Amino acid sequence: MEAGMDAIDRMFTVLARTVRDTQPRYLTQPFEVAELYQTLLPYRHFRRELAIETNEDYELALMQLLSGARGYLIVDDRMRDALSRELASPNPDPGAFRQYAEAQVALSPAALQQHGQAAAEPAPAGGSTVRLSTPASAAAAAAAVDELRCRYCSGKLPQGRRVVFCPHCGQNLTVMNCSACGAELEVGWKFCVACGRSSGQNT
């Protein structure tokens, strides 16, 4: 990436590249805030590439991005105003953006054009490598994966074999994220191990 980039610049550049590589329809279509932090740019997968040390710093940078900083995203006015006020407060709540999980955002065409070259560069080796906790848990979770469609992109999944990653969008199908706190959940868990919130899974 270009020298002199800060966390917000890096976050947009990595987001644009991820969208271009895995969900190209989002180059011209809006998507939900929840999808941004749960599947497109989750901290645990991209922290090294983003060069952000803590989850709190990640959330603050994401909140700035969602507040319309530098015009990188086209955002909902109500969310922009609320997050801007939160960021200006003496002790901002880093997770305040989660209240707007269902709000729609879109990549700014002007920003995409301006940062197109950086976003088109390949990701550094190991920058977003996903590691599973144990082979046993991976196998068990993979067995619970929907055999027909990817829950992220709805792409058809191959049958008759163990599927861990979607062949269409590359998402790890053996884990999910808690909608309340963002903690990693395994497929089949009914409750979050970090905050106790229901995962919404019926299995």
pLDDT (0 to 100) of residue 128? 42
Distance of alpha carbon 27 from alpha carbon 80, whole angstroms: 21
Q: Count CA within 13 A, CB hemisphere, residue 143.
A: 5
- Residues near 8 by beta carbon (within 8 Å), at least 6 away in sequence: 61, 64, 65, 69, 70, 72
Residue 4 CB neighbours (<10 A):
6
pLDDT (0 to 100) of residue 142? 44
118 — phi, psi (to 5°)?
Answer: -65, -40
Mean pLDDT is lowest, of 133-137, 151-155, 157-161, for 133-137
pTM for this predicted structure? 0.57
Rg (CA), the chain: 17
Distance of alpha carbon 118 from alpha carbon 153, whole angstroms: 25
What the block records as the tokens of 19 is 């969208």
The β-bridge partners of 198 are: 191
Distance of alpha carbon 40 from alpha carbon 18, whole angstroms: 7
Distance of alpha carbon 115 from alpha carbon 15, whole angstroms: 11
Mean pLDDT is lowest, of 41-45, 179-183, 188-192, for 179-183
Average pLDDT over residues 147-173: 70
CA–CA–CA angle 47, 94, 92 (5° rounding): 140
